[in-house]
Amino acid sequence: MSEPAIDSQSDHVLRAMTDDGAFRVMTIRCTQTVRDAANAQEAVGHAAAELGEMIVSSILVRETMAPAFRVQVAMRDEDGNQIVGDSFPEGKTRGLVRVKDNALGVRLHRTGFLQVSRSLPGRPPHEGVVSIQPDEGVEAALTDYFQQSEQVETMVGIACLTEGEDVVAAGGYVVQLLPELTEPPLAAMRKRLAEFGPLAPHLSGGSGDPQSLMDGILGGTEYTRLHDSSVTFACICGTEKAMSALSALGRAEVQELLDAGDEIGVTCDYCRTRYSLGPTEFRRVLDAIPPEPGD
């Protein structure tokens, strides 16, 4: 059965392999996804651009290394600022911005850190951390992650463009040398990417369709499309997750809320949806919390 067609103007990620068996390539456009995530987080300017880079990174890592996993990519600095991209197998994608100043975002005037976490439900995550140097940025850090944690020869391009407070384009690519292949094809690909140049100009003007990026990166190299999947801003929150967060208070505090007959609001950090919880939810939470010894 063939895959359903994806609108070429929508956010999507394209996966391909060169016909000589040397490389796999991923290209992505996720402009609207980043825009929606930035709006939900009230992120603008530099922080919005950094959020775009994290979202692009999370999707590329998931598509490249772990399509069936949830992948989070977080950028942090020594001052406690952090920005997170969060990508799920079905294409749902969201982000989180916790910075002191939108204009500064994560401050890479000193060394920052890029943390990549991938996980399956009910299993502990696999995590890797690399440093981000101020003069290199996220592209170089993600390349280092692939080289160090995954031990795969990888070339990365990531860009998020803003005008004023608005996100106007976001996208990226990953090119990976397949196992047991060495220097000759790698040298040729590096030369090709040097000719392709920085990614940002290819995204300007709202362009940067994954197919166009794929053709531009590979030039005349023959390749086969393997998969084309949509990407969209979406959250996995809901009443059940809000109740799970409430259970962290412990039995005593939840019992106090129930006894008082109050309602409380729990707001999702990612999409800012607010859930109202009352006595019915409090009882369900209490039923799920194991009793304390001696109760």
Q: Which domains does the chain have, with CATH numbers?
A: 12-233 (3.55.30.10), 239-288 (3.90.1280.10)
Q: Residue 118 region, left (φ>0) first, then alpha (ψ -120 to 50), else beta?
A: beta
Q: Express as a percent the part of the chain with pLDDT over 70.
A: 94
Q: CA nearest 27: which of 216, 210, 158, 178?
A: 210
Q: Average of pLDDT values for 251-267?
A: 83
> d(Cα 283, Cα 120) in Å, to the nearest integer?
29
pLDDT confidence of residue 8: 58
Is residue 84 a contact partner of residue 54, using CB atoms and an 8 Å limit? Answer: yes
Q: What are phi and psi of 30, to 5 degrees?
A: -140, 45
pLDDT, mean over the chain: 89
Q: Which of 14-23, 100-109, 191-200 has the lowest mean pLDDT?
A: 100-109
pLDDT confidence of residue 2: 43
Most confident of 91-95, 119-123, 151-155, 161-165: 91-95
| Residue 219 pLDDT > 80 | yes
Q: What are phi and psi of 157, to 5 degrees?
A: -135, 130
Helix, strand, coil content of the chain in percent (nearest 5) = 35, 30, 35
| 255 residue type, one letter | Q
Q: At CA 111, angle to CA 108 and CA 116, rounded to 5?
A: 90
pLDDT band for position 292 (cuts 50, 70, 90): low
| Residue 295 pLDDT > 60 | no
pLDDT band for position 58 (cuts 50, 70, 90): very high
Does this model's pTM top 0.85? My answer is yes
Q: Express as a percent the part of the chain with pLDDT over 90.
A: 59
Specify the DSSP element, H or E, that contains 93.
strand 92-98
